[in-house]
Amino acid sequence: MSVINREDMLELTRRMTPARTSIGRVAGCYVDSDGEFGGSFNTNFLKLSEAEKARNLKLAKAVPFSAANKNLKQYKFLAKTQKQESMWQLLMAMKECGLKNDALMDTFYDIVREHYHGDSEYAILVFCDHYDIPAKTSDKERLWESEEMFEYLICVICPLIGEYEPGAPECGFLFPAFTDRSGDLNHVNVYQKNPDRPHTELVKEILGAQ
């Protein structure tokens, strides 16, 4: 398991404010206590109200802002798990379409619902973001020119604390991983609210990582 650099994660979270965010879209679905589908949505993030943006950013930010290498750990996708019809391929397709393909999203929700061990009603939320990574000099001073466009997804799974109101995420992930200030397609950063009682099914059964 690779070590996560806390500074890399903080670089992403500094942009997660209503004024600075570059999240383009948020999609999600609701799951009832029996694990049944309870409706979905797919929205242009910038068209949300300021209050809705702030609420959603708080949920998304929980993943990269968590304690690196404790609540947030990095896992690897082996070559055999990057084959056609794998979760890796599905996540790549979701990222490339910017979450705009509802059929892909429904497939993702179905896989999560099939394997996730939830104790109550919950929501699955997925955010699509891009970060135009500025280059840095050897002394870590920022330069104006871009070094890389990092396009990524953040997914959180949250218990519902009211009607269609997600509470603090129980778990989630950032894909591709953000390693050495660059997109890392071979890894995924996985968040667990309680690392002593992790949702291991998220890593092994849903993501197919290790």
Flag whether 202 is in a domain. yes
Q: How remote is the C-alpha of 149 from its chain's centroid?
A: 17
Which pLDDT does position 175 carry in this prediction?
A: 98
193 falls within a domain:
yes
Share of the chain above pLDDT 90, in %: 87
pLDDT value for 141: 59
32 is a domain residue: no
Question: pTM, whole model, 2 decimals?
Answer: 0.94
Preceding peptide of 195 cis, ω within 30°: no
Q: Is residue 108 situated within a structural domain?
A: yes
| 30 in a structural domain | no
Does residue 134 have a pLDDT over 70?
A: yes
Tally of domains within the chain: 1
Q: Is residue 141 part of a domain?
A: no
The span from the CA of 131 to the CA of 41, in Å, is 24
DSSP 49: -
Secondary structure (3-state) at 100: coil
Q: Is 143 helix (H, G, I), strand (E, B) or coil?
A: strand
Q: Is residue 107 part of a domain?
A: yes
* Closest to 127 in 3D by CA, of 163, 89, 169, 159: 169
Of 79 and 115, more confident: 115
Range of the domain at 158: 6-16+38-134+148-207
- Model confidence pLDDT, tens digit, residues 159-209: 999 889 999 999 999 999 999 999 999 999 999 999 999 999 999 999 999
Does any domain span residue 23?
A: no
Mean pLDDT of 76-91: 91
Where residue 80 falls among pLDDT bands split at 50, 70, 90?
confident
- Residue pair 38/31 in contact by the 8 Å Cβ criterion: yes
**Is the peptide bond between 134 and the residue preceding it cis, with omega within 30 degrees of 0?**
no
